[in-house]
Amino acid sequence: MKSLLDLSWHQARRVSWPALVLLLSAAVSAALLLAWTHHMDARRAARETQLQQLSASRRHLPAAPAKTALDPAAMRQMQQQVGLLNRDWAALTQALLPADNDIRLLSLDVNPSTSAVRVIGLAGSPVRANSYAQALEARADTLHEVRLLQVERQSDGVRFEVGAQWNR
């Protein structure tokens, strides 16, 4: 006859400290992760409630007035302003570039509404500054009324200023 199973208590082997520490750290990590997910869910729910209240309050705002067409004077002014922006800027900058390496341009000031151009540069001598102004005057297709406004000797060269009108 078969014997019954032996159900008597056997003392189990002791759990080692590293295994116990690993088990506890896994439990703490799982608890922290669960708490963090609950916190994020609560924040999301609060944000959704806030957005629903905001959208509900916006429903009660009056509608924006319908846009009206521009009158002819305003349309003409807007077209003039767009025309000022759409000028040939590349041709202007190409006309202002000096052919002489002895001349350095320091600043360029352009007023598109009045077509005024002012260039400040640095040259090796007053003769070079004057020749630059004459070269600009020769470019009649882009610039007119070219004037050498100022020539001033400084420690690093001759600083000059040229004023001109940009052809429309």
Give residue-wise pLDDT tens across range 17-64: 888 899 999 999 999 999 999 999 999 999 999 999 888 887 777 766
What order of strands is seen across the sheet that includes strand 104-111? 104-111, 116-123, 157-166, 143-154
pLDDT for the residue numbered 151: 93
Total-model pTM: 0.52
Angle (CA) 77 80 85, round 5°: 130
What residue spans define the domains of the chain? 17-59, 87-166
To which CATH superfamily is domain 87-166 assigned?
Answer: General secretion pathway protein M, EpsM (3.30.1360.100)
Give residue-wise pLDDT tens across range 80-123: 888 777 778 888 888 888 887 889 999 999 887 788 899 999 99
pLDDT for the residue numbered 100: 79
Rounded to the nearest 5°, which phi and psi values hold at 110? -120, 130
Q: Judge contact between 163 and 147, C-beta under 8 A.
A: yes
Report how far residue 23's alpha carbon sits from residue 30's, in angstroms, rounded to the nearest whole number. Answer: 11
